[in-house]
Amino acid sequence: MKKLLTLAAIVFAVAGCSGQNSSEATAPVNVKSLAGDTTVPVTLPAAEMAQYPQKGHAIARNYAQQPPLIPHKADYPITLKRNTCLSCHAWGKAERMHATAIPKSHVIDDNGTLNGRNYSCNQCHVPQASNKQAIVGNGFGE
């Protein structure tokens, strides 16, 4: 008898945990958009994809000390742990990857150790892409 009771207790306990009570209706969730009932009047097509030059063709510089433009896509990740730009541009890798090695101005020793100040490459180097969008005017040098 005692065994039977224990068994019954276990069965009830398990049934209690099994989520069988979920048949109780849950209250509907009313999510209200910040825009209220405003409908979207126009949907624009996605912007044209940027077209980057082929790798291997550096873009002519316009003035001395200009950080050269990146002649390829520039979404290679630069994170705290890894700078993927260096997998092609680091000393010792650049020649094999047919890329220009980072210049002496970017390193702190004779082994090509990158100066921490130059870690965020895209802070100075930007990619050049031909886009189909209207070009923004520029009065540099005028």
Summarize as ranges the residues that interact with ligand HEC (CB under 6 A).
55-56, 58, 65, 67-68, 70-72, 74, 76, 83-89, 97-100, 102-103, 105-106, 114, 118, 120-125
**Burial (CB count within 10 angstroms: exposed 0-12, middle 13-18, buried 19+), residue 70:** buried
> Closest distance between ligand HEC and the C-beta of residue 64, in Å?
8
Which amino acid is present at 111?
Answer: N
Closer to ligand HEC at the Cβ: 15 or 124?
124
> Closest distance between ligand HEC and the C-beta of residue 48, in Å?
22
Taking CB atoms within 8 Å and a gap of at least 24, the contacts of 37-40 are none
Strand partners, 121: none
Closer to ligand HEC at the Cβ: 26 or 54?
54
Closer to ligand HEC at the Cβ: 35 or 60?
60
Contact assessment for residue 110 and residue 92, using Cβ atoms and an 8 Å cutoff: no
> Closest distance between ligand HEC and the C-beta of residue 62, in Å?
12
**Which bin fits 52, alpha (ψ -120 to 50), beta or left (φ > 0)?**
beta
> Closest distance between ligand HEC and the C-beta of residue 69, in Å?
7
Closer to ligand HEC at the Cβ: 71 or 129?
71
Residue indicated by tokens 């969730």: 29
